[in-house]
Structure 1
Amino acid sequence: MIKKVLSKDVEEIYALTKSCAKHLIENDIFQWNEHYPSLEVLKRDIELQQLYKLEIDNVIAGIIVLTEIEDVEYKNVKWLTENNNNLYIHRLAVHPNFQGKGYAKQLMDFAENFAKKNSYNSVRLDTFSQNLRNLKFYKNRNYKQLESIYFPKQSKFPFYCFELVLNA
């Protein structure tokens, strides 16, 4: 079941993101690190009620952020739709112990259904250019790859922006 994260979940969520960061680094994907995502970022997501969790047998297996807030890094991106009424996805993560079971797909299905139900024009996100698995995942979901943006505290490599148009 996917539902909003509660403040009592913050330590379990933080541990999940740290496990994901470690797993990525072990696979030479330098997307997340000791700076990101921070505990403060996760607490803010919870306060804004934009962080969702997927629970399997009372264990948080995955998370996803759904927000209308456009990050400053996105300001110069030439999106496919107007800059209003868009849903942004951040911090999609599935604990390494639960990967390969379709849970990322479930989280994305939830996000896209949420966007359609709430009449958003599109779903927007970014993913690390060196994470080939993620790139394939989003392209297979019909997201269009757009421009590159940079997060210097995370990597010297770019992150690619993607958009799925729902209501043009």
Structure 2
Amino acid sequence: MQVLNSQSNDIDTIFEFYDMAIAHQKKVFNKHWQGFSLDLVTQEVSENRQYKILVDGVVACVFAVTFADKLIWGDRDQDSIYIHRIVTHPNFRGYAFVKEIIKWAKEFASENNIKYIRMDTWADNEKLLEYYTACGFEYVGVVTLNESEGLPKHYEGISLSLFEIVV
């Protein structure tokens, strides 16, 4: 298993994963992502903030990171790596990629003097709340977004549960 930066030739694969995730979200939850812009993903790739996990050379999971999330984390937005849009290919469910991402993020954080690994999800998604805490994240509260300009469309007018790991 390898965690690698995504490259520009991975962009179609990333969007295929997002489409699979949206279809899955529609089946299992009352909210779903509203899609993402090509500009956003292209920028993330060019800034080395889009990642893929390979299993035997096959892309099994994708995720993105950022180092600033002021609209979501407010005054707590500091010294953090924020993990977003984790998508596992259906053929690789059960591989516990969130735990692998945490291992990777802890190493990355240690090497870059980052104090926190953080995530968010819809506040009413009980299944993910339980899963993220079982993976080692601490639940640190709920935030309701007053402003979402610059964030993907699914962030408009929602409440989010926040999670962090202190490195």
Band of TM-score, shorter chain = 0.7 to 0.9
Distance 1:130 1:97 in 2: 27
Aligned to 2:32: 31
Which one-letter code corresponds to 2:57 in the other structure? N
SS of the residue corresponding to residue 154 of structure 1 reads helix
Aligned to 1:100: 94
Alignment of 1:75-90 (within 5 A): 75=74, 79=76, 83-90=77-84
RMSD across aligned positions (CA): 2.3
Q: Is the 8 A contact 1:50 1:65 kept in 2?
A: yes
Q: Is the 8 A contact 1:51 1:63 kept in 2?
A: yes
Q: Is the 8 A contact 2:123 2:160 kept in 1?
A: yes
Distance 1:41 1:145 in 2: 28
CA distances 1:85-119 after superposition (whole Å, capped 9, x unpaired): 22111112212221122223212221222112322
Aligned to 1:53: 52
Aligned to 1:14: 15
Quote how far apart the aligned CAs of 1:157 are: 4.5
Sequence identity percentage: 24
Aligned to 2:154: 154
SS of the residue corresponding to residue 15 of structure 1 reads helix
SS of the residue corresponding to residue 63 of structure 1 reads strand
Distance 1:159 1:84 in 2: 18
Distance 2:86 2:108 in 1: 15
Alignment of 1:73-152 (within 5 A): 73-75=72-74, 79=76, 83-140=77-134, 141-150=136-145
Distance 2:22 2:84 in 1: 15
Quote how far apart the aligned CAs of 1:29 are: 4.2
Distance 1:131 1:84 in 2: 26
Quote how far apart the aligned CAs of 1:27 are: 1.1
Per the normalisation by structure 1, the TM-score is 0.81
Per the normalisation by structure 2, the TM-score is 0.81
Q: Which protein has the bigger helix share? A: 2
* Structure 2 unaligned spans of 5+: none
